[in-house]
Structure 1
Amino acid sequence: MSSDERGYRSLFVPPSAQDHIQGVLSATVVLVMYGDYQNSQSADVYRLIKVIQQQLRVSFGENYLCFIFRHFPQIQIHSHAQRAAEAAQAAAAQGQFWQMHDILLTYQELGNGYLVEYANNLGLDISQFLQDISKQVHIERINQDIESGIQSRVTAAPALFINGIRYSDRWNLEQLMAAIVTSSH
């Protein structure tokens, strides 16, 4: 592969402590996902990743796989995606990003009433949550994720990068698992 091709398939903004992280950045394999909460394929891919995380934890231990989620709401086709990303960030401000993230991708009901219900179920401070969303407090953070995706030539969600290289195979358990394990050698 030429360096030009590699550049085309590389993650432009490296993983950092600013990201939403499950695991440690020093893991053997770092998997970065650009996702859209209103996109059913993002939800499907995240379900695959959760299964893979469990299997790899059992096989290789806690520090083998680091998973990072970056926002890539496709607002031109998904009217609720941006607001859902803001809800995830508002939950993150209260220490509950992954809990909200899981709910959003599991249920994909993203109207304002649902977002408040999810926040309530997580025991978040609702007035703070609503204030964050209405004032678009977290929009810049979301836009940074989108911009980093665009710099990595992401045009649609979901998009995955395994150790900095774009995953372009089929979205199934066997192939994704194989690509992850292969990248660690």
Structure 2
Amino acid sequence: MSQDRDRSLLFLPPSTQDHVQGVVSATVVLVMYGDYEGSESADVYRLIKVIRRQLSVSLGENYLCFIFRHFPQIQIHSHALRAAEAAQVAAAQGQFWQMHDILFTHQQELGNGYLVEYADNLGLDISQFLQDISKQVHVDRINQDIESGLLSGVTAAPALFINGIRYLGRWKIEQLMAAIVTASY
């Protein structure tokens, strides 16, 4: 295998340790490396939500598994890491996907005060939330996602892998849907 080919494969296989929507044993597994402050990450996530809904109706709930991994680009997004931490703290309290959606919806408002407000709106334990954020309890987990992305050749977010192979097509619903469906054959 060439060096380029190696860099287009997902280094760390999907597992139950990931943030998963669906089942890891699905026909197609879509892994996204994303940045909560990146508008392109938010756009791609919105596409994926639509695609997941459409495919679950037409091909069943177990057809597509979606996995999100953190890839905050801290060199250009000053709030990305803290937003990822907020998502991880919410995950520890059983509300990752709820916080994940809020962060992408409000990506222009990711300052500390907003993060606390989102946590409060979700009914999270605010004392625990603040303690975990201040002690950076979940930074290692975020760094593991970043490292797995780098080992897979990811240099910027968003980055997608469909059944372990890097998707380099256009970020349009038709092309992404076609790539997902094609991957099942």
TM-score by length of 2: 0.98
SS of 1:90's partner is helix
Q: 1:161: which partner in 2?
A: 161
Q: 2:71: which partner in 1?
A: 72
Instruction: Name structure 1 gaps, 5 residues minimum.
Output: none
Q: 2:117: which partner in 1?
A: 117
Opposite residue 138 of structure 1, the aligned amino acid is H
Residue 4 of structure 1, CA deviation: 4.3
RMSD between aligned alpha carbons? 0.8
Within 2, Cα distance between the matches of 1:106 and 1:171? Answer: 18
What whole-Å deviation, never above 9, does each CA across 1:16-43 have from its counterpart, x for those lacking one?
1110000000000000000000000000
What whole-Å deviation, never above 9, does each CA across 1:31-56 have from its counterpart, x for those lacking one?
00000000000000000000000000
Instruction: Name structure 2 gaps, 5 residues minimum.
Output: none
Q: 1:9: which partner in 2?
A: 8
Aligned length: 184
Q: 1:182: which partner in 2?
A: 182
Within 2, Cα distance between the matches of 1:91 and 1:111? Answer: 16
Q: 1:62: which partner in 2?
A: 61
Opposite residue 68 of structure 1, the aligned amino acid is I
Within 2, Cα distance between the matches of 1:140 and 1:31? Answer: 23
Within 2, Cα distance between the matches of 1:167 and 1:117? Answer: 35
Q: 2:37: which partner in 1?
A: 38
Q: 2:87: which partner in 1?
A: 88
Q: 1:150: which partner in 2?
A: 150
Within 1, Cα distance between the matches of 2:93 and 2:100? Answer: 13
Identity over the aligned pairs, expressed in percent?
A: 82
What whole-Å deviation, never above 9, does each CA across 1:157-185 have from its counterpart, x for those lacking one?
00000000000010000000000000000
Within 1, Cα distance between the matches of 2:85 and 2:44? Answer: 21
